[in-house]
């Protein structure tokens, strides 16, 4: 069934709702990774709940020289994907609807976690992301919001914002969806030519190497991933990092016990790609 398309906050507020509401926030160009989020949301709320997919290319989270102007905008196709996977509503507001007074003077600040890894490479990105997520949470008023594990730092920051600012919403993580060859699905993958795509596979190879080495401890896992990327050609590596999944502070040495995230980022040509894998060391304390 084709979902209902709404473009204004007023239309969204007027929607009837029975049962739980789940939201999946996207910037459009939907792929199987987004489809998995919609399916998880549908499963969560059941046949009587409501799934809202937001489609909004947020200018606040693009830095100077990034791909705001060329970011793919494919609303008709997005609506088809969302409907096929069980969405009831697609909320596709204009920039003027989301930011009616122009760029907001009051914004969410990501804090220390927003200054490392992706935050260091893309200053201000996470402030812009959290600001729009906060606005969309207010507008959609969901019981649960679904985010992909592929953007692990974003996920951690959204969870922290929801906790710190008392948002009455459950933040649900959905595992990363990959191509058969291991490449993590991303709307930016369409920018890659054949050679760049082949080079990009080194990211998932590095993560697999880290997983295989994890039984030898955190240092070995990070070292194994780093060695794969150091040998790779056609990539400009930004970082390889093993971090606490809640704070994104570095995991160092071999005394760490419990969950960690092994994260990598690199450019293939002009396209910046990120990936990560959750790891577990020893017994959680």
- Give catalytic status of residue 34 as yes or no: yes
Per the listing, tokens 């894998």 go with 277
Distance CA 109, CA 111 (A): 6
Given the residues 34, 48, 125, 138, select the one marked as catalytic: 34
Residues 6+ apart with CB under 8 A from 232: 199, 202, 205, 206
The half-sphere exposure of 77 on its side-chain side, counting CA atoms within 13 A, is: 10
Active site residues: 34
């Amino acid at each position: 069934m084709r979902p209902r398309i709404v473009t204004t906050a007023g239309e969204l507020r007027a929607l009837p709702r029975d049962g739980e509401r789940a939201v999946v926030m996207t910037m459009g160009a939907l792929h199987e990774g987004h489809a998995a989020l919609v399916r998880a949301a549908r499963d969560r709320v059941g046949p009587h709940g409501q799934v809202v997919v937001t489609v909004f290319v947020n200018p606040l989270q693009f830095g100077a020289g990034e791909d705001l102007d060329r970011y793919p905008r494919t609303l008709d196709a997005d609506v088809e994907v969302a409907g096929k996977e069980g969405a009831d509503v697609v909320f596709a507001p204009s920039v003027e609807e989301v930011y009616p007074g122009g760029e907001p003077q009051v914004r969410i600040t990501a804090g220390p976690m927003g200054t490392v890894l992706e935050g260091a490479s893309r200053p201000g990105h996470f402030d812009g992301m959290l600001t729009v997520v906060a606005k969309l949470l207010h507008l959609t008023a969901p019981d649960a919001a679904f985010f992909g594990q592929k953007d692990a730092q974003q996920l951690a920051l959204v969870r922290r914002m929801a906790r710190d600012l008392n948002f009455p919403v459950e933040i649900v993580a959905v595992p990363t969806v990959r191509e058969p060859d291991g490449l993590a699905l991303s709307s930016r993958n369409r920018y890659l030519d054949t050679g760049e795509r082949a080079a990009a596979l080194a990211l998932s190879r590095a993560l697999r190497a880290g997983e295989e080495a994890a039984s030898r401890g955190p240092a070995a896992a990070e070292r194994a991933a780093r060695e794969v990327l150091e040998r790779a050609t056609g990539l400009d590596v930004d970082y390889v990092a093993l971090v606490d999944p809640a704070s994104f502070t570095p995991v160092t040495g071999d005394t760490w016990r419990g969950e960690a995230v092994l994260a990598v980022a690199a450019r293939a040509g002009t396209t910046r790609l990120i990936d990560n894998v959750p790891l577990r060391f020893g017994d959680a304390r």
